Amino acid sequence: MTPLALTPPAQEPVSLAEARAFLRLDQTDEDDLLGTLITAARLMVEAASGRLLVDQAWRIVIDRWPDSGEIRLPLSPVSALTAARVYDALGAAQPVATTALQLDGQADPPMLRIVAEVPEIGRDRSAIEIDVVAGFGATATAVPVLLRQAVLRLAARWFERRGDVVGRDAEALPPEILALIAPFRRARL
């Protein structure tokens, strides 16, 4: 199973204005840097928590339909199934009826159940593509406050300590950020 990002979030969970206020910056001279740090912090928080923060489009590629009829998705949370297709032996995409797959977004991990007939696969690899929307919601306000704080504090930490940290400490998330993320971490099986 391969998850592929199709579109990034329309907005970050923390705005430039929020970050500037947190850092007590009056000038906008370093907005480009701060914006980059916010995006990097979001990506780190998403990786550490196993959760996507703001809605974004993803494609899940699998080789074949599972015998169990259940597809455990590697993304969380998932709010919508937008499309699914199966590739036949000639390489043509055959749409899967939206009623054939049922999303259980409340499960952890989210799950798709095959509830009706689905087209047969026609090739050995990457035969099925499933498009979903993953994230807590379309806007920053939908993201849990602790995860927004983790992004804000991590971006601010990087902004304030530019070039000060080297070696192993540069790669690890600080304990105070990990504490904010901890309630949302997905357990690895």
| Average of per-residue pLDDT across 30-54 | 95
Q: Going by C-beta distance under 8 Å and a sequence separation of 6 or more, which residues neighbour residue 98?
A: 81, 84
Q: What is the pLDDT of residue 167?
A: 53
Q: What is the mean pLDDT of residues 161-179?
A: 75
* Confidence check: pLDDT of 186 > 80: no
pLDDT for position 98: 85
What value does the mean pLDDT take over residues 137-156?
96
The predicted structure's pLDDT at residue 172: 80
What's the rounded mean pLDDT across residues 60-84?
Answer: 95
In single-letter form, the type of residue at position 13 comes to P
What pLDDT was estimated at residue 108?
A: 87
Residue 168 has pLDDT above 70, yes or no: no
Could you identify the residue written with the tokens 């923390």? 14
pLDDT value for 150:
97
pLDDT, position 22: 95
Query: Residue 29: what pLDDT?
Result: 92
Rg of the chain's alpha carbons, rounded to an integer? 20
Whether pLDDT at 133 is above 90: yes
Q: With 80 as the cut, is the pLDDT of residue 164 above it?
A: no
- Residue 171 confidence (pLDDT): 61
pTM for this one?
Answer: 0.88
In 3D, which of 5, 4, 1, 38 has the Cα closest to residue 23?
A: 38
Give pLDDT, residue 78: 96
Q: What is the CATH number of domain 2-53+139-184?
A: 1.10.3230
Q: Per-residue pLDDT for 188 more than 70?
A: no
pLDDT confidence band for 189 (50 / 70 / 90): low
pLDDT classification of 170: cutoffs 50, 70, 90: low
Assess whether pLDDT exceeds 70 at residue 14: yes
Centroid of chain to Cα 74: 9
Q: Contact, 57 vs 3, CB < 8 A?
A: no
How are beta strands 101-104 and 111-114 bridged, if at all?
A: antiparallel
SS3 of the chain: CEEEEEECCCCCCCCHHHHHHHHCCCCCCCHHHHHHHHHHHHHHHHHHHCCCCCCEEEEEEECCCCCCCEEECCCCCEEEEEEEEEECCCCCEEECCHHHEEEECCCCCCEEEECCCCCCCCCCCCCEEEEEEECCCCCHHHCCHHHHHHHHHHHHHHHHCCCCCCHHHHCCCCHHHHHHHHHHCCCCC
